[in-house]
Amino acid sequence: MSEQTRAHWRDVWADTAPDEVSWFQPEPAVSLALIAGLDLSKAARIVDVGGGASRLVDRLLDDGYSNVTVLDIAEPALARARERLGDRADGVDWLVGDVLEAEFEPGIDLWHDRAVFHFLTDAEDRARYAERLDQLLSPEGTAIVATFSPEGPERCSGLPVRRYDAEALSAELGESFRLVHERREAHETPWGDTQSFAYAVLERA
């Protein structure tokens, strides 16, 4: 991603409260339901891509998961989450960086991405994302990737997005993965609008 994009997200989080962004969820119910359906150990390596100030990390800790990393391009977003968690934040790995460049050890058991991939409007960036996912996911790992569906908005936070259904998302990520489950979500924004999300649960082919 460009430095302009990085600056955009830093500015968003510097000026906006977590519950004032369109993607805010008081409870990440769909993600939690999909994760609950997986056979994950409590020590599984979980990475929340673009997790920012999301409350998913809170719920994962509540459920006893002990190896969670939250990645976001905007440090202010991670700072909001750390502040909210208090002492529990010490049990989480916080990583500021671009998903296309951030350094991870291979062997990730769960890759969770709600609303990062759809911002990758450049084909080279999407190919790089798919390549990284293939490199980093463990042999038995699972990826949960959510984007705006074809019925969702064409822009988010002032930026253009690409919309997918689960099958198109699986195809975009390539033949290394197979779609094992899909889910739609009618997400309600803090101001009452509805945004349609498509979730794809992917395993290695």
CATH number at residue 186: 3.40.50.150
pLDDT band at 79 (very low <50, low <70, confident <90, very high): very high
Say if CB 59 and CB 36 are below 8 A apart: no
- Give the chain's domain count: 1
Predicted TM-score (pTM) of this structure:
0.95
- Predicted confidence (pLDDT) per residue in 104-160, tens digit: 999 999 999 999 999 999 999 999 999 999 999 999 999 999 999 999 999 998 899
Q: What is the mean pLDDT of residues 90-94?
A: 98
Quick one: pLDDT at residue 2? 62
Q: What is the mean pLDDT of residues 12-20?
A: 77
- Predicted confidence (pLDDT) per residue in 25-58, tens digit: 999 999 999 999 999 999 999 999 999 999 999 9
Domain enclosing residue 147, as ranges? 3-204
Half-sphere exposure of 28 (CA within 13 A, CB side): 24
